Amino acid sequence: MSDYPVLTMELNIGGRPMTLETGKLAKQAGGAVFVRYGETAVLVTATMARNIRTGIDFFPLTVDYEERFYAVGKIPGGFIKREARPSEKAILSGRLIDRPIRPLFPKQLRNEVQVIATVMSVDQDHAPEIAAMIGASAALHISEIPLKYPIGGVIVGRVNGELVINPVLAQAEQSDLHLVVAGTKDAVMMVEAGAKEIPEKIMLDAIAYGHSAVRDIVDFIESYREAALAKGLAKAKILPEITEPAPELVDIVTRSATPKIEGALIRCSSEKLSKLTRDNFLDEIKAELVEQFLEQFPEQENDIKELLESIEKQLVRRMIVTKGIRIDGRALNEVRPITVEVGILPRAHGSGLFTRGQTQILSSATLGTISEEQILDGLGVEESKRFIHHYNFPPFSVGETRPMRSPGRREIGHGALAERALSAVIPDEGAFPYTIRLVSEALESNGSTSMGSVCGSCLALMDAGVPISAPVSGVAMGLIKEDDQLTVLTDIQGFEDHLGDMDFKVAGTVKGITALQMDIKIAGISQEVFEQALAQAHEGRMHILQKMLDVLPASRPELSPHAPRIIHTTIDPEKIRDVIGPGGKIIKKIIEETGADIDIEDDGRVFIAAVDQEKGKRALEIIESLTKEVQAGEIYNGRVVKIMDFGCFVEVIPGVLGLTGKEGLVHISQLAHHRVNKVEDVVKEGDMILVKVIGYDNQGRLKLSKKDAMPAPEGGEEKNDRQNRSSRRRE
């Protein structure tokens, strides 16, 4: 037994117990909590560096979500057989934790803080990301790290019209909503949702329902810290040192700089300067002011720059809240000018260029076979997916230079958001048996490239002829809060995102919301603000959607001539070996002869893909020939392939690829309604004759009848036989 004290407490979430334990594992971390939820187990640690990281002007927070394959009894794929770079799901889960806690740290904190959630066991009915989020909040709260308030988080589903907290796997599969709500006791801090065209009112109810569960979790974490303090397992908070600039400097800079910066901002708004022109103009004004103040305060350049940034931020916010003036001269609910083009990439299967102000997205759609779907090597139940959206953010999109590297967390997050927004309208595999890959290139960026990607990608899908159930558009909303005054902005640009308090992204169809994401920089917002933001977002979405539909009202009726045509059929799984052949010999012959790509699933589904439709049809004919069953009682037009004394062999299904077709024996007694003395009197080799399948012999060989495939002569067989016998006697 350990001599260290251990604290274990339990709370109920979604009707099931969750257990938090500290004091037993990872005792050298600043705070460590082992979370059990069902059979899901996650160890979450929170640690802060002892020394301040000098030379930076931001809070260095890192949240890592580490998946371990032993959590689901798997050995990692690949040659090395160990976990390597995090999966997309792990990156998105880390972002889910990061976003609600980041605004709750003191702005002056410069010590590095690292939160690590290690997923050690996964029960698919209990989401590990929710256990990790709650564990992160608890670990931070019992540590010395100065998080202002603890948070809680839950998943809200909707099954048969009923809202459910943390739905189990069976419920999640039936749910038309997957909503993650995180927040403090008083306010929602983060929302992330994927939905099947959920109306705004239902979404608001779901957010409120989730937040009520969050309050209970926060209360529990607060009591958990009190119990940990009593056992010596929690630490006193360390507050960052706050160094304020000298009052004399603040006074002089504020009085002298405010009129000049305010005049510059008014000019930017009235002249509606472009992003780069405006940025250069404001930078020149601030550079002149820095030089001016350095003459009097030569050692305080950083303080001067921070004061000027603060003045600029406050002036922009005040212009919006008190005067309704935006930096580019737009109304508060006005969307920037939109232009739409489709089909600009000749060889891509579909393409859409969406430009909104100085945000420009070029999206392309590629259609592939089912075998090209993405294989998922992770801890979830999904092993593959056939709809993929990727997002790229090159440096030239903001007029900068930097090394080109693999996608970062932001790119993966934006790509996943657009994918979630569009997945609700993608046709299922049975109706459209293709793997679909979308790629969105951010060619220009000045606010909400993720929502631009939703619009551009929807256009690309429609241009490619994908029969989506409804077109989707998206818009980003902003919020400025000054004291008790709140202003919601439609279609925020980068400057407003940087200086504002919220980035609220909504995507959906005319019918309802398909994706929603909120990032907030203040201590949460109320239900009323949510309601206003969603209503204003709906108005903006519909405006943008109409601009898209003016150019392309619906999906094209035909696929691109460069896209593969996929023919879908189903065969008996027992016949798969007949198509594949020994060592894949037969299927290779089919591919070689037709040029088609062929995928055969274990359940007998066959997908034939070929750009030339005639080649695809030829491949289908071959496969049907190889797998077609000869049915008893059916009549076939067969070819006589061999004559014997006792009858003839007839090929009822032709052979393909040099293989023997399906043959059966027509006994001499089954050649005609009258007696036949010699087979050649009735048929010759190569003749095409109608035969009826009358069964199989003891060895499983096919028995055919020519007699039964044609009508009997008048008077019946008996009369005919008498006539034949009389004829023979005369001869």
Tell me the pLDDT tens digit for each residue of 83-95. 888 999 999 999 9
611: Cβ contacts below 8 Å, ≥ 6 apart: 561, 562, 563, 564, 565
pLDDT in tens, 98-151: 999 999 999 889 999 999 999 999 999 999 999 999 999 999 999 999 998 999
- Identical fold at 565-627 and 635-730? no
Six token digits for residue 712: 């009997």
687 pLDDT band (50/70/90 cuts)?
Answer: very high
Indicate if the pLDDT at residue 703 is higher than 90. yes
Tell which CATH classification among 1.25.40.10, 1.10.600.10, 3.40.50.720, 3.30.230.70 matches the domain 7-230. Answer: 3.30.230.70
What's the CA gap between 448 and 504, in Å, rounded?
10
| Mean pLDDT on 451-455 | 97
Indicate if the pLDDT at residue 466 is higher than 50. yes
What pTM does this model have? Answer: 0.86
Q: b/e map of 372-405 (b: 16 or more CB within 10 Å)?
A: bbeeeebbeeeeeebbbbbbbbeeebbeeeeeee
Indicate if the pLDDT at residue 676 is higher than 80. yes
703, 694 contact by CB (below 8 A): yes
Indicate if the pLDDT at residue 717 is higher than 60. no
Residue list, annotated binding site for Mg(2+):
497, 503
Indicate if the pLDDT at residue 629 is higher than 70. yes
Which pLDDT score is estimated for 731? 43
416: Cβ contacts below 8 Å, ≥ 6 apart: 88, 92, 389
* Helix (H/G/I), strand (E/B), else coil: 119: strand
Least confident of 334-348, 416-430, 556-570: 556-570
730 pLDDT band (50/70/90 cuts)?
Answer: very low
What's the CA gap between 374 and 536, in Å, rounded?
37
Least confident of 658-672, 697-711, 713-727: 713-727
Query: Does the domain made of 635-730 have the CATH classification 1.20.210.10?
Result: no
What's the CA gap between 539 and 422, in Å, rounded?
19
Which pLDDT score is estimated for 255? 92
Which pLDDT score is estimated for 1? 47
Which pLDDT score is estimated for 727? 44
Of the two residues 727 and 312, the one the predictor is more confident about is: 312
Q: Exposed, middle or buried: residue 607 (CB in 10 Å: 0-12, 13-18, 19+)?
A: buried
| Mean pLDDT on 29-53 | 95
679 DSSP assignment? G
State how far the alpha carbon of 70 is from the alpha carbons of 75, 82, 83, 89, in Å.
Answer: 7, 10, 10, 17
pLDDT in tens, 557-566: 999 999 998 8
Q: b/e map of 637-661 (b: 16 or more CB within 10 Å)?
A: ebbbbeeeeebbbbbbbeebeeeeb
Q: What average pLDDT is seen over the chain? A: 90
490, 463 contact by CB (below 8 A): no
How would CATH label the architecture of 338-551?
2-Layer Sandwich (3.30)
Residue 24: count of CB within 10 angstroms of its CB: 14
Please report, for the chain, the start and end positions of each structural domain, with discontinuous segments joined by +.
Answer: 7-230, 247-323, 338-551, 565-627, 635-730
Indicate if the pLDDT at residue 246 is higher than 90. no
Indicate if the pLDDT at residue 491 is higher than 50. yes
CATH code of domain 565-627: 3.30.1370.10
Indicate if the pLDDT at residue 530 is higher than 90. no
* Helix (H/G/I), strand (E/B), else coil: 615: helix
Among 123, 134, 121, 127, CA closest to 21? 134
Indicate if the pLDDT at residue 704 is higher than 70. yes
pLDDT in tens, 42-83: 999 999 998 888 878 789 999 999 999 999 999 887 788 888
